[in-house]
Amino acid sequence: MKMDTEIDYDYNPAANSDFPTIVFIHGAGGDKRQWKRQKDYFQSLGFGLVIPSLPGHGESQLPDSVSIKDYSNVIIRLLDYIKLSKLTLIGHSMGGAIALQVLLEYSPSMIDNLVLIGTGAKLNVAPIFFELIENDFKEALRLMGEYSYGKKATLQIKRENEKILRHNGAQILTHDFEACRQFDIRTELGKIQISTLIICGQDDKMTPVKFSTYLHTHLANSQLELIPDTGHFVFQEAPEKVNNCIHDFISV
């Protein structure tokens, strides 16, 4: 797709007009490959899917500037380009922040549901991560791994995510973390009335449960699901539970 920035994305049309289309938005340093377990599941059921790699991630071209609003504008232009309705936005971590920003700027009538995974209305990033990414990227990835997973996360999942982070590189991860650090829409949550499912790993150390609890308290039409024995990548660590939660939510 040609826009201001070349965006790499997967698009699978819905099996019929009764099925909604799900838009998956990845987190900091990630790309569309992280949603494989969701893509396979929902595609098999006939749901439409839009799964982009954000600018500078995966095979998408580098952006001119990086902020949550910049990324949300890319998602909005993508949705306008594909011309879809009956949408469900699903965002993980930074992707959740982007999804919230989209809701504040895009026509609510186009979006039926919102799913937020391991995210918050304000995202903090510890200064140590910025220092390590600049000086010792390998150690930064190791430390992120310690904070990112529950005890039962498989080595395969950890290696998949580390490979993606390495591919996308230190510079884009730094830009993403800075975008997260500047993100704060706590005073605007009252504007979001859309039906929202909030999912968080019970052992998430990157965006602890209190972030999701805050969202649940301040989003008028929301429900909260805590998944035990999982961390920040709950949608990969417990894909069956997360997929079932999402399926039940958007099929009501």
pLDDT 10s digits, 27-54: 999 999 999 999 999 999 999 999 999 9
100 found inside a domain: yes
Inter-residue contact 86 to 20 (CB < 8 Å): yes
In percent, how much of the chain has pLDDT > 90? Answer: 85
pLDDT tens for each residue of 8-24: 999 999 998 889 999 99
- Mean pLDDT for the chain? 93
Residue with structure tokens 């904070």?
A: 147
Inter-residue contact 75 to 23 (CB < 8 Å): yes
1 found inside a domain: no
Domain that holds residue 220: 8-250
d(CA 67, CA 79): 19
- Structural domains counted in the chain: 1
Mean per-residue pLDDT, 134-163: 93
246 found inside a domain: yes
144: CATH: 3.40.50.1820
234 found inside a domain: yes
Amino acid 6: pLDDT: 82
Inter-residue contact 221 to 149 (CB < 8 Å): no
2 found inside a domain: no
3 found inside a domain: no
User: The tokens of 224 are what?
Assistant: 């909260």
pLDDT tens for each residue of 116-132: 999 999 998 889 899 99
- Going by their DSSP bridges, the two strands 48-53 and 87-92 should be labelled as unpaired
CB atoms within 10 A of CB 138: 11
Residues with Cβ within 8 Å of 33's Cβ and at least 6 positions away in sequence, in order, are 58, 160, 164
User: The tokens of 94 are what?
Assistant: 């930074």
Mean per-residue pLDDT, 85-110: 91
Which burial class, exposed, middle or buried, applies to 34 when counting CB atoms under 10 A from its CB (0-12, 13-18, 19+)?
buried
